[in-house]
Amino acid sequence: MELVFDGPAHPLGLAVESFLVLLPLAYWIFERYFRKKPSTWLLPTVSLALFAFINGVRLWDQLRVRHLNPAEVHVTTGPIDEAWHIVSKTRDWSNKSLSYRTTVSEGFDVAGLRFKWNIADSYSPATFSNSGTPPIEFVKGTPVEVTWFQDAATDDTRRIIRLRMGKLPGSALPEDPAFNRFHRDFVAAFMAGDTARLTALTRFPFDFAGNGMERDEAATLWMGLLSPGTQSCLATAAPTKNADGSVHLTCHGTVFEFRQQGGSDWMFVGIPRTR
């Protein structure tokens, strides 16, 4: 299995976003020492206190994960039974304007245990929150090895500190040069947002979850598919071959289906399932 996340090995350091709380300090320095305006010490005190708190929590979390008691660390292996990627929006009542807060929750079940997290929501990089670029795609059936501990600081949730992943059974087509060429061409066009090239690589009528789409509806299709998250995911997603000869790529619950036409050219033929 390939090691895809190793929290304890992540170097110690300051949180980049913590420097934002120093902006008021910079403003205070400018006003006090350059414009010679009288000002209290409240602003710099609060700014420095927040900076110290954010990085103190980060350092505390990294150090405690590095020094966990071996008896607290567990390893679970097996194929992923279920996986989810849920985007939810809630009203941000802390803001007077009509704004919403977006939360992306993910997780998977393996060997009867549930592991869950919100993307980029963690005390530190010592535990997994899938905040890398591109994010890791979790597909049902993928073998994993999860190293974790139960964290009293987060209501006894299971926090992943190391993650290894294998390949789906029967995945990839390294022996098929025609598909490999098509796959490289399709992914390159998808990453570049080249809708003309994508349309040329797509068979119409296109099967979108059981509904046929014609070539003149291609612009609508690409508008719905070409998002930064799907683009980054598709760049690393592993193709899987099915018993009927089709090939699937799965990104955040959306399945891209490809088939060989007339024994030669491969085409993007449909999306049998989407989240």
Cα 58 to Cα 15: distance, rounded to the nearest angstrom: 7
Q: What is the pLDDT of residue 121?
A: 86
Size of the chain in residues? 275
pLDDT at 274: 58
Give 177-271's CATH code, choosing from 1.20.1050.10, 3.40.570.10, 3.30.500.10, 3.10.450.50. 3.10.450.50
pLDDT given at position 175:
65
Closest CA to 203 of 239, 246, 171: 246
Residue 109 has pLDDT above 90, yes or no: yes
* DSSP β-ladder status, 143-151 and 74-91: antiparallel
One-letter identity of residue 234: L
Scanning the structure block, which residue is given the tokens 């949730």?
Answer: 157
Q: Under the phi-then-psi rule, with left for phi > 0, alpha for psi from -120 to 50, and beta for the rest, what region is 111? A: left
Dist. CA 186–CA 198, nearest whole Å: 7
Q: Same CATH topology for 71-165 and 177-271?
A: no
> Dihedral angle at the C-alpha atoms of 272, 83, 275, 239, nearest 10 degrees?
-40
Its CATH architecture, for the domain 71-165, is: Beta Barrel (2.40)
SS3 of 159, please?
strand
Question: Considering the chain, what percentage of its residues have pLDDT values greater than 70?
Answer: 92
pLDDT value, residue 98: 64
* Unique residue bearing structure tokens 């939360």: 103
Residue 151 has pLDDT above 80, yes or no: yes
- State residue 211 phi and psi, 5-degree precision: -110, 130
Instruction: Identify the H or E element spanning 181.
Output: helix 177-192
What's the pLDDT band for 9 if we cut at 50, 70, 90?
very high
Q: Which tens digit of pLDDT belongs to each residue from 157-190? A: 999 999 999 876 655 555 678 888 899 899 999 9
Using CA atoms, how far apart are residues 214 and 260, in angstroms rounded to an integer? 19
Q: Where are the domains of the chain?
A: 7-69, 71-165, 177-271
Q: DSSP code of 1?
A: -
Tell me what the pLDDT averaged over the chain comes to. 87
pTM of model > 0.95: no
Q: pLDDT value at position 176?
A: 76
Q: Identify the pLDDT of residue 186.
A: 94
| C-alpha angle 206-140-247 in degrees, rounded to nearest 5 | 35
Place of tokens 């987060």: 154
Residue with tokens 């985007």: 87
| 221 vs 240 pLDDT, higher one | 221
Q: Return the pLDDT at 171.
A: 53
Banded pLDDT at 91 (limits 50, 70, 90): low
Q: Which of 104, 100, 108, 107 is nearest to 87 (CA)?
A: 104
Two structure tokens written together for 202: 């797509």
Q: Name which of 99, 128, 100, 102 is nearest 115 in CA terms.
A: 128
